[in-house]
Structure 1
Amino acid sequence: MTAVPAAPASRGLAAGRLRAARGPLLLIGLLLALVAALLVSAGTGQLAVPPAEVLGSVLHRLGLDAGPLPSHPQGDATLWSVRFPRVAMAALAGAALATAGAVMQGVFGNPLAEPGVVGVSSGAAVAAGAVIVFDATALGSWTVAAAAFAGGLVTTLLVYLLSRDGGRTEVVTLVLTGIALNAMTSAGLSFLLFLGDQQAREEIVFWTLGSLNGTRWSAVAIVAPLAVVGVAAAVALARPLDLLSLGDRAARHVGVDVERLRLVAIVVVALLTAAAVSFCGIIAFVGLVVPHLVRMVAGPGHRLLIPASALGGALLLVCADLWARTAVQNADLPIGLLTSLVGGPFFFWLIRRSRRTAGGWA
């Protein structure tokens, strides 16, 4: 007796149930991998500290006398003054960039959107670079972050306005708009390099390459609230973004204010991008690679996609920072260089895949 193939609707329902079952396992797996990466990364360097001693140091600071303390006399001080701020910043920046990418892809309705690709990160860096060159201190230690937020917001609004055609966002228009904005911001950064003194030039070069070297707790204290608020806001937008994926008309039919949703999402993307760029410089492709990989495993639902992207982005950047510190002996490679090295080929593959599946550039 010949078996009757399952109907497409039944296959889709079964796939949805399988992805729903994978959701909690994916989040738990990413969380455990992130904790392991944080322990290994914090203990790796010229002064090596075993992961068990790293964990023991953390538990000791929490008031729990469990686990061994670092055996080296300077081990504990090195962890808390140098290593932990750096790995914390890597996790925060990675989570912020990946979440921004997931939100931007949901708003624009295609997997090619990413803050770095469309010029948002470089726009935020130009604004921060202007603050550096002109030595503005209007908001104290928050001045650079506020300038990065403004720069990211302006460039995001430009992308939103220029890439829309007849109520929809074209992939080609999005990419070309990003190329144009990146060219303009590159010119702006070059002009700032011309205007600035030697110290300002070094700081602007820091923006263009991306680095976590020299991160301190004071910087983490500024980035953390921005990143946490941005990720929380993105999670709150998960259901409206799911409805928006059905199309503007369908989303309006079920009560979604589409234009308001897009504007709020734009502010969230700018906030998250500013949180990452303000102290780390331009780190490209994290917001492109991570959400797409998570979507391939867990499906397009933003309730799972956004928190999983945040964890995946944190994991990716912690591992990339570990690679940057250990790839070349006695050298600290720019982390933005490494993410671009991986993300560039991935972006090319994604463009080819999108063109092939869509049957063209439409």
Structure 2
Amino acid sequence: MRNKVIFFEVQGGNDKGEDGYRKDTMPMVNALKERGVEAEVIFYNKAREEEIYNYVSTNGIAYVSRINPGNLKEEECYFNMLRRLCDEGVIGMPHPDAMIGYGSKDVLVKLTSTTLVPDDTYAYYNMNEFKHQFPKSLAYGERVLKQNRGSTGEGIWRVQLVDSLNGEEEAPLDAHIKCTEAKDNHVEFWRLGEFINYCEQYIVGDNGMIVDMRFLPRIKEGEIRLFMLRDKPFYVVHKKPAETEDAFSATLFSGAEYRYDTPEQWSNLVQSFLNQLPEVRTLLGNYDLPLIWTADFILDTNEAGEDEYILGEMNCSCVGFTSQLELAHDVAEEIIAAIKEKTLTVS
């Protein structure tokens, strides 16, 4: 009888505590057990994949993926195993294709038909696309380039022309540009063509791509992260970049300051996002919403001079909440609710 909730982890990585688990995993396991639900952690290992698959497909009613993709070399093998489990009726939290859809940087391009993302946002999957479009994008103002891999701001660049173009519709490849990386807000000066070639490392390889969107100067006022449990906003993180001249990064590693607010303190943003959530879900494949996920927004000003919020990124692969471990009880309730909903739907 399937009755266990399986939490997938992977051994190693800098996100683990002294016991070898992520610090927010065992609180969720224990919260489920307190509610009479069997739960356990299994470490994914490619060499034991069939053994793991057979055990979970026989005993698991649902799985919760708690693996940071950066700590997993066999990501595609892992995703394929999760797909097989979902096909067998195990409830995916999240489904691997939802993980990819909500977690990849090109989620922004998929949502340009909404009011959440400007329509001059592009994704480049090969160098020809990048070389063709990016000089044109840059001619109209500062841009931000985001690689699909990495974390903590690595490979996220604010790019601006040093000299004006005098009305030209495409920046020449010998144009001088100023590039600031979000990892630590350091500045480098390049020729545009040389920088384009440098960025090839972000495009080549599995899941390589670059997203190109306009720079939003009001990032200085802070990035606003909605922490979501399925369709419920639980708290909001206001992440204000450091006060130095070129700083635009909202990561702790770059000196940003974090403040934790209630959803009620950002009611306009929260309600606007929830109103558009059904459309977002449809555009991203109509999978069940991830169990734990985030949406990051930056303030902008529309043509009427009013505030609007622009989506900058979403994440659902392995969102942590180690500074609010009491949320483990809320997560457990959402897991139980999701299982009940699925069970009723199937029956």
Fold shared per TM-score above 0.5 = no
| TM-score, normalising length: structure 1 | 0.28
More strand by share: 2
More helix by share: 1
Pick 1 or 2: higher relative contact order, CA cutoff 8 A, min separation 6: 1
